């Protein structure tokens, strides 16, 4: 059994895999990590390996003696050619997502959109070449910025706008943030489609369910795609070693 661990900016997401099957999924705050990992290893004593990616500071936790830990870094054997101009600055999470797209959808142009704290866009072409993408603020960051960098705008949480035309300050904020993100995603897809026809679109991240029905293009919506990608690249590495 494999435990995949994704350490994000605010939370830890993990999943237990038996070969290619996801057995159980967990999400918790970083402060509760040690407690949760103890519970996971008690519930699944057959876990033999942990594969970990992190966009923030590394999280250390004690492993049972029989468990091997594998931390993804820029030296990992990824299944694509990286043409990013500054490869050392490319986020590990973006590399894992690109790898997962390459392995799950071979011989296709792929766009992975990760809608979390930030929204990232990553393109891998049908020849398994990573071309780059884009980074923008996510939904929550936009709400926070409107409150923190203005004098009077309230701090709101993500909510479906009642109308494209806000009839109140709150309504205007919801319309601006949510519709702004949706128009951005649709716009990026349209731009990429001009140069990379016949590509698949994978939407993932914490805001997947909220955004999936608002994107006008055909997509694969999978909020657990990063964890599944960790499993894919683990299988890829050790099948190819």
The active-site residue out of 6, 93, 114, 207 is 93
Helix (H, G, I), strand (E, B) or coil at 42: helix
- Nearest alpha carbon to residue 115 among 226, 4, 239: 226
Secondary structure (3-state) at 35: helix
Q: What is the 3-state secondary structure (H, E, C) of 56-74?
A: CCCCCCCCCCCCEEEECCC
Characterize the bridge pairing of strands 129-137 and 81-82: parallel
93 included as an active-site residue = yes
Which residues have a Cβ under 8 Å from the Cβ of 225 and sit 6 or more positions away? 97, 100, 112, 202, 204
Other CB atoms within 10 Å distance of the CB of residue 182:
15
Residue 41: CB atoms within 10 A of its CB come to 18
Class of residue 151 by CB neighbours under 10 A (exposed 0-12, middle 13-18, buried 19+): exposed
Pairing state of beta strands 109-115 and 199-204? Answer: parallel
Largest CA distance in the chain: 60
User: Residues with catalytic annotation?
Assistant: 93
């Amino acid at each position: 059994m494999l435990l995949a661990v994704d350490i994000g900016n605010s939370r830890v997401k993990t999943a237990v895999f038996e070969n290619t099957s996801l057995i159980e999924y967990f999400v918790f705050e970083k402060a509760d990590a040690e407690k949760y990992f103890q519970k996971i290893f008690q519930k699944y004593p057959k876990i033999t390996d942990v594969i970990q990616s992190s966009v923030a500071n590394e999280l250390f936790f004690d492993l049972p003696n029989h468990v091997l830990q594998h931390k993804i870094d820029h030296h990992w054997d990824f299944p694509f050619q990286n043409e990013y101009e500054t490869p050392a600055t490319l986020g590990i999470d973006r590399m894992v997502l690109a790898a997962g797209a390459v392995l799950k959808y071979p011989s296709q142009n792929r766009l992975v959109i990760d809608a979390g704290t930030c929204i990232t866009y990553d393109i891998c072409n049908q020849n398994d070449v990573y071309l780059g993408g884009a980074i923008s603020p996510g939904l929550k960051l936009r709400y926070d910025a409107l409150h923190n960098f203005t004098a009077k705008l309230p701090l709101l949480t993500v909510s479906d706008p009642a109308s494209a035309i806000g009839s109140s300050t709150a309504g205007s904020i919801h319309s601006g943030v949510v519709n702004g993100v949706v128009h951005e995603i649709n716009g990026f897809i349209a731009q990429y489609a001009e140069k990379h026809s016949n590509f698949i679109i994978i939407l993932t991240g914490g805001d997947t369910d909220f955004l999936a029905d608002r994107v006008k293009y055909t997509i694969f919506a999978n909020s657990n795609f990063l964890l599944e990608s960790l499993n894919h690249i683990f299988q890829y590495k050790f099948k190819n070693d």
